[in-house]
Chains A and B, each alone.
Chain A
Amino acid sequence: MPVYNLCMRIIRKNIPSLLIYLFVFVGVSIIVSSSSANPQKAVNEFTRKKADIAFISKDDSPLIEGLRNEIGKIANFIDIPDNKGDLQDALFFRRVVYILRVPEGFAQKFIAGEEVFLEKTFVPGSASSAYIDLSVDKYLNTAKFYLEHMDNISQEGLVAYLNDTLSEEATVTVLPARTKTNLSNLAYTYNYMAYSLSSILILGMSAIMMALNDKDLKNRMSCSPISGTKSNLQFFLACLTFSGAAWLVQIIACFILDLENVMTLNTVFFIISSLVFTFCGTALGYLIGSIVKGTEAIPAITNVVVLGSCFLSGVFVPAELLGKSTLKIASFTPAYWFVKANNQIAQLSQFDLSSLKPVFSDIAVIFCFASAFFALSLLIRKTKRYN
């Protein structure tokens, strides 16, 4: 099988550059699976959300100590050196979302009834800022209330009253959560395949096509005793071997990194969607290989096509964080439907027809993309041949 062997030799030559994408995939998968090592337990008990804040106090009175304890119920205090640059850096990179500064002599002036303020620097408009403000105002307004109505109250006495009052809490009931499958980390790993698998398939396929498009080679092949049909069959067999191997290696990597879920039905559907996507990636590689003229252009086109579709479709940034118009543009790429299918598979807990219908329709769209790419490339090749 000379054509088959030639294709395999070309792929072997390109293995180092293809391996880069495989390493990136394995690296990202390891990071994702290690971050899910401590899965969140389904709790039916309410836990308060804590915001990370910096609390800088120039006043060590009991009133401020009490304030610190009260805020401590809803915030984690992060130690940041008290200088402008470090504090601003911490806020920008979200080490903290709120910086509260208590000016010197605050408690004394507050007790004396003077108009005093605490100073905050925060991420404008953030929910955590509203949360902390609520707690600080609650503490100080209650303190003011006691100061106004309890005669001759000492600072320690005030704090004791405050502690007693602020221990009163509303009852919270958390509805029992329905058992729901959530394999979002596994879905992220499979979604990431849209980047690594597409890159590998397009680069490999175009490398084969570039070599086979060489005029001298074409002439040599047409005068050889192998018929056109046979050489085409060998070519397709080579493409099948290459794309099958690329897919298998990544699927095995997924299995090894997530042994826990290998035997679930969800994995079967992940396998089906990734297999159809592999077919689509191969078709896209075939199309790009048919259009592009120089070998130098291939990495450029691959990077723009693959990175572009992955950024827009929610492979790198979760799809729920993307704008509606971005997703609309993305729906013209197969990666979007692949990500959509995977995200739905990750949520599947029942495998009846109505739950599976949206998954199958997304997979069908990927298949349609693949067919369109193949049809288009055959058309281009035919036109080129006549020219």
Chain B
Amino acid sequence: MFAHIFMNRLRCLLRDKETIFWTFAFPLALSLFFYLALSNIGKGETFQEIDIAVVNDSRYQEDLYFKTALEEASKGEDRLFDLTLATEEEAGKLLENGSIKGYIKAGDQIELVVKESGMYQSIIKSFLDNYSQTFKAVETVLRNDPKKYQEVMESLKDRKNYVKEVPTAGGKPDIVINYFYTLIAMACMYGSFFGMRETSDIQADISPLAARINIAPVHKLKAFLSSICASMLIHLVVMLALLGFIRYVLNIDFGPRTGYVLLTMVIGSITGVFFGAFVSALVKKSEGIKVAVLIGVSMLGSFLAGMMYIDIKYLISMNVPFLSWINPVNLLTDAFYSLYYLDDLSRYALNIGVLSGFATLFCVLTYLILRRRKYAGL
């Protein structure tokens, strides 16, 4: 009997194009839009060689130290600047049309001319400050002991880097990835549309189909379980396809722990389906109202998990951590984030633990609402 109900239910659900659209095609399309719109966002903060010009006059040509310093900083792979030599007039034009961030005038007091304040302009200034300050340091030392000239000049060449990068075990802090994680989490919660259908189709006072199922000589729990298994199977396949699309077509990194990523998706999917079943059993209103509640909760959850504005997730977790822990979309997003970015699994385990708790709670509550329901008249 299980196989009979399961197979028929499967066929029935696959014909429901609307639910398939919202659970599969919509998140898929949204992931593509995210990819097209957000793939350039991270590049804005990447350092690029700064285009600058220097006024090529006699003062610049005569100031050999400054000339060498500037040329050194504009050479090699890790260079700071892309340097152009120009007359003051040309440099002014280049600055005006935005080809350079600023131009430098050599002299006793080095001058930087810019159009606005900004990160790149500040870096140019830091470089020039550095030069003037080194000059001042040399002056101070030589004033103290003029004989050290040769020694001092030699030591200037020996500049060291004092900052060493500490390698982190997890992935890169790529902010765009979180948008895709919230999207998968939202798609998991959209499994609630399947759950909603299952409870609507088993409560005889809600739909004529449910009334027919209720008079069949099958235990209600058995009928319900067989149907919800079909729903879960479809939703899992749908989620697997979405995950595969995001991972292999859009090339979004999930870290090396594929097994855990799949486990998260399965638990997320189960939570989504049972959430829908629970809401549908609880809200004794029309389908429109139930759908509105489900979409409202999923969208609010997605918003709080950073789907529309990434900073929200961090703000909530810092200021109202309770809200982070009761939001299934955030728990799922955070589980994916932990797998990708953090090396230890304790936070992941906590997220999955709380999420499983939610899934169990929705399941038990749905059962308690649906069981032993008798209808005096329909």
Contacts and interface: CB of A to CB of B under 8 A. Distances in A.
A127 B159 CA distance: 21
A89 B314 contact: yes
Interface string A112-133: 0000111111111111111111
Contacts of B126: 74, 131, 134-135, 138
Nearest to A28: B308
A37 interface: no
Nearest to A175: B115
Contact of B141 (A125, A150, A171, A297): A150
Contacts of B30: 307
B33 A122 contact: no
Given A88-B341, A168-B136, A312-B36, A145 B115 contact: no
A296 interface: yes
Contact of A173 (B48, B114, B133, B135): B114
Contacts, number: 228
B36 A323 contact: yes
B38 interface: yes
A363 B170 CA distance: 49
B33 A169 contact: no
Interface stretch (A44-52, A200-208, A341-349): A44-52
Contacts of B95: 175
A124 B42 CA distance: 11
Contacts of A46: 114, 117, 121, 125
Contacts of A223: none
Contact count band on B = 35 or more
B40 A322 contact: yes
Interface in A70-113: 74, 85, 88-95, 97, 100-101
A170 B119 contact: no
Interface residues of A, number: 80
Interface in B324-372: 337, 341-342, 347
A165 B140 contact: yes
A137 B38 CA distance: 34
B159 A172 contact: no
A119 B166 contact: yes
Contact of B129 (A127, A149, A169): A169
A361 interface: no
A146 interface: yes
A326 interface: yes
A329 interface: yes
Contacts of B178: 92
Given A311-B37, A322-B37, A137 B47 contact: no
B251 interface: no
Contacts of B172: 124
Given A89-B317, A125-B47, A300-B22, A101 B117 contact: no
Nearest to A144: B160
Interface in A18-32: none
A137 B161 contact: yes
Interface string A201-238: 00000000000000000000000000000000000000
Nearest to B113: A173
B160 A165 contact: no
Contacts of A311: 33-34, 36-37
B77 interface: no
A339 to B, nearest CB: 13
Nearest to B120: A127
Nearest to B19: A296
A175 B310 CA distance: 36
Contacts of A43: 117
Interface in A48-63: 48-49, 51
A116 B286 CA distance: 70
Contacts of B135: 168
Contact of A304 (B29, B44, B131): B29
Contacts of A171: 109-112
B130 A326 contact: no
A148 interface: yes
B116 A174 contact: yes
Contact of B45 (A116, A123, A164, A170): A123
B112 A172 contact: yes
A161 interface: yes
A148 B155 contact: yes
A93 B29 CA distance: 25
Nearest to A92: B173
A240 interface: no
Interface of A: 43, 46-49, 51, 74, 85, 88-95, 97, 100-101, 116-138, 140-142, 144-146, 148-150, 161, 164-166, 168-175, 177, 296-297, 300, 303-304, 307-308, 311-312, 316-317, 321-323, 326, 329
Given A142-B133, A297-B18, 7 more contacts: A85-B342, A135-B126, A137-B162, A146-B141, A149-B151, A149-B152, A326-B37
18 contacts: A88-B168, A97-B45, A127-B120, A128-B119, A130-B123, A134-B127, A136-B162, A137-B159, A141-B160, A168-B133, A168-B135, A169-B129, A170-B109, A170-B125, A170-B129, A170-B131, A312-B37, A321-B41
Pick the 9 closest A-B CB pairs, nearest first: A170-B128, A93-B314, A311-B33, A117-B164, A127-B47, A49-B122, A92-B173, A311-B37, A140-B162
